[in-house]
Structure 1
């Protein structure tokens, strides 16, 4: 297997669009990933779950709306400042991984 076997990026998709889309998708996923201590009584839970419990809302609409909101905010941040926005996404990801994922 060599480098020619892998697909190349699509020439018709601008990088500025694909980076925003990917960053927004990562933000939406992070909002829904279960972390070790975010649930009730120190159990596993997601950021969206914390918001849902704090606001006292039920239903599928809230996680979908919260995920789209997070994705939109991240995409707008990356659109405004590509380098700074991606740096903030990586810092948030690193913070969540270090502070909230189970150890051992």
Structure 2
């Protein structure tokens, strides 16, 4: 149950970071109204709070989140931007995800 809770926190953090960053991107790169950037900045700040809900230390949490972010960014690009990941994107994401699961969820003494 602890692993499921931590995965949900990582996913929520990813949605905040990617969603907030995407709104800032749209504001600056796609000429959307300034409120996109403001809302994006607020959501990005919320990401900084959400990620602290993890029980592990800063380094391990951020290392693990990096791999989860890779997978979520590819999913976001595929679903929102119409980017189609190729086999190398998928292989790289799978390797990153396996690595971070070892880092975060491996039993320790």
Same fold (TM over 0.5): no
Give the TM-score normalised by structure 1: 0.34
Larger RCO, structures 1/2 (Cα 8 Å, 6+ apart): 1
Higher share of residues assigned helix: 2
Q: TM-score, normalised by structure 2?
A: 0.32
